[in-house]
Structure 1
Amino acid sequence: MRLLTGSARLAGVIGWPVSHSRSPRIHGTWLERHGIDGAYVPLPVAPENFAAVVRALAQAGFAGANVTIPHKEAAFAVCDRVDETAHRAGAVNTLVFTPQGIEGRNTDGYGFVANLRAHGVNPAAGPALILGAGGAARAIAAALQAEGAAVTLCNRTQDRAEALAAALPSAKVLPWGRRAEALGDYALVVNTTSLGMMHNPPLEMSLERAASGLAVADIVYAPLETALLAEAAQRGLKPVEGLGMLLHQAVPGFTAWFGVTPRVDEELYRIVAA
């Protein structure tokens, strides 16, 4: 059994609620695997307490924390400085506490692109259609643009898609009602909405007009195979599940907090999927 010492490195995940998070299992697996004197804990924090808790964690000696719903924009505001990825995304999901203050990063785009590559998908293979206009959509759109892909945004509330497109150079907007008929124009379609998530309505979008070779990515990971991904597989397209993005986005934070670059592999996937 791994025992902590007085020199243990501490990190965690801040959310409201946070009991659903699989991040403790990811980081706990890596801590065990590398025999690190450290711990990663869930931290349920109400929105009105977020800034005070983050500063207290830094003062208490934590190395940093992940940030999940609904705190990613509040995390951006509490940082003393943010890196380019967080600046492009307008949100922070990874906090690193340093002697110079609170540093904010956004690793969602990194995790998404790494997961595409793990599934044999080139992120710059062609234009991408992103469904949704929230923080995840912005991070993924910025990461795809950095790879050289043209990005089109499509959201149920078009005003939100247009506002996001205005913040992303050269991004286009497609009306929600045209999402299925326009699929032939894209090499990648990404669902960043909560549609298809367990206990939520499914994403209603036929892939009948998809171009052959279309990569279909869903950032939902509960269930592991959404209806969208099941249809993609049936049609011989390239489904890309969301759990891999969660695993890959965790790598930079673990490296910063615990000093080891961990590996995303089949064993980790099985442990977290279970």
Structure 2
Amino acid sequence: MSAVVKKAVVTGHPVAHSRSPLIHGYWLEQHGILGEYGRIDVAPEAASDFYRNLRSAGLVGANVTVPNKEIAASACDWLDETARTMGAANTLWLDETGRLCGANTDGMGFLGNLDQLAPGWNRSQGTALVLGAGGAARAIVWALLSRDFTAVHVVNRTEEKARKICDEFGSKTFAHGWESLGTLLGKVDLLVNTTSLGMTGKQPLEIDLSNLPRHALVNDIVYSPLETELLKQAAVQGNPTVDGIGMLLHQAVPGFERWFGVRPEVTDDLRALVLKDLGVNV
């Protein structure tokens, strides 16, 4: 009798660019697991039915990327606290009763990256400044509040979008327009860019860090280029920095454990493999 091959996929629209198969394939091989992980392009209009019928498709679970995270959450029978808060799920699995379950691991990926590359980064539980007000920003605000930061400032070119996030997360969060950036930079312990500004092929992130305290940690979730202009500027003036590739790697860990029964590790070898595939010079 042949062994059952567990199969999971990454879904989204488009999805051909996803590096998730490379990451999960590395872990499957590393742990000698008889499993498969692939890609399926799922358009938004077909997404709800697809996720509700994972078992009939022969899948034990799926990752979800844009633009289907909110649809995936609405299709689930059960959501973890983070996915409920976000209204978005990026990791799906079937429990022992067949229920479709969902989690949002973006915030966990952010925390795992900083924990690994900047140990003790949140020891002071101080003030953070988050640039951008999209889905990644929401996940990161949640993550920072989970580590008891005393204040999280969200800056966005459209202040109303920043205010929407802060209304959801309460009295420790503060919304600002871009014009407030210079003043805020002088008061923070952590700066995180969640916008696409500075990404290869996108507009540059034009920001002057001269007012930023030298102890403040700077993180850019952009990973192409690996060292963004923001990180270069921070490093030149002596600020500690963390790049964004680790967030991609760490957010994948919980799903692999759910589907294949082993909790994998984010190693230097995996990091190097993904960076090579991205064509990033290190």
Q: What's the TM-score once normalised by structure 2's chain length?
A: 0.92
What amino acid sits opposite 1:157 in the alignment?
Answer: T
Deviation at 1:248, TM superposition (A): 0.7
Paired residues for 1:56-205 under 5 Å: 56-98=53-95, 99-121=97-119, 122-125=121-124, 126-149=126-149, 150-170=151-171, 171-205=173-207
Q: Are the aligned partners of 2:163 and 2:176 in contact in 1 as well (CA < 8 Å)?
A: no
Q: Supply the distance in 2 between the matched residues of 1:94 and 1:17 (Cα, whole angstroms).
A: 17
Distance 1:21 1:222 in 2: 13
Q: Distance in 1 between matches of 2:237 and 2:71?
A: 41
1:224-246 CA-partner distances (Å, limit 9, x unpaired): 11111111111111111110011
RMSD: 1.3
Say if 2:109 and 2:249, in contact at 8 Å, map to a contact too. yes
Task: Return 5+ residue gaps in structure 1 as ranges.
Answer: none
Q: After superposing the two structures, state which structure 1 stretch, 68-77 or 50-59, moved more.
A: 50-59
Once superposed, which parts of structure 1, at least 4 consecutive aligned residues long, lie more than 3 Å away?
none
Change (3 A) 1:113 1:81: same
Aligned to 2:29: 32
1:48 matched residue in structure 2: 45
The CA deviation at 1:6 is: 5.3
Once residues 124 and 54 of structure 1 are traced to their aligned partners in structure 2, the CA distance between those partners, rounded to angstroms, is 40
> TM-score scaled to structure 1, two decimals?
0.95
Question: 2:8 is matched with which residue?
Answer: 11
Compute the displacement of 1:78 (Å): 1.0
Deviates more, 1:85-94 or 1:110-119: 85-94
Contact 1:110 1:249 in 2 (8 A): yes
Distance in 2 separating the partners of 1:187 and 1:58 = 46
Amino acid at match of 1:267: D
Distance 2:218 2:226 in 1: 14
Q: Deviations over 1:101-155 (max 9, x none)?
A: 1111011111101111112252353111111111111111011101101211111
Aligned residues: 270
Name the structure 2 match of 1:252.
254
Question: Which ranges of structure 2 fall in alignment gaps of 5 or more residues?
Answer: 277-282
**Aligned-residue identity in percent:** 49
For residue 205 of structure 1, give the secondary structure of its aligned residue in structure 2.
Answer: coil
Distance 2:268 2:153 in 1: 32
Superposition deviation, residue 90 in structure 1: 2.4
CA contact (8 A) 2:10 2:65 kept: yes
Q: How does 1:186-225 map to 2 (within 5 A)?
A: 186-225=188-227
Q: Secondary structure at the match of 2:262?
A: coil
2:191·2:219 contact (CA, 8 Å) conserved in 1? yes
**Any conservation in 2 of the 1:129–1:190 contact (CA below 8 Å)?**
yes
- Checking the alignment, whether the CA contact within 8 Å between 2:69 and 2:90 is kept in structure 1 is yes
Return the offset for 1:193: 1.0
CA distance in 1, matches of 2:21, 2:227: 22
The answer to whether 1:235 aligns with 2:237 is yes
Aligned amino acid, residue 82 of structure 1: L
Deviation string, structure 1 residues 151-194 (Cα, Å, up to 9, x no partner): 11111111111111100022111221121332111111111111
Cα distance in 2 for partners of 1:56, 1:147 equals: 36
- Secondary structure of the 1:186 match is coil
CA distance in 2, matches of 1:95, 1:57: 9
Q: Give the CA deviation at 1:202.
A: 1.4
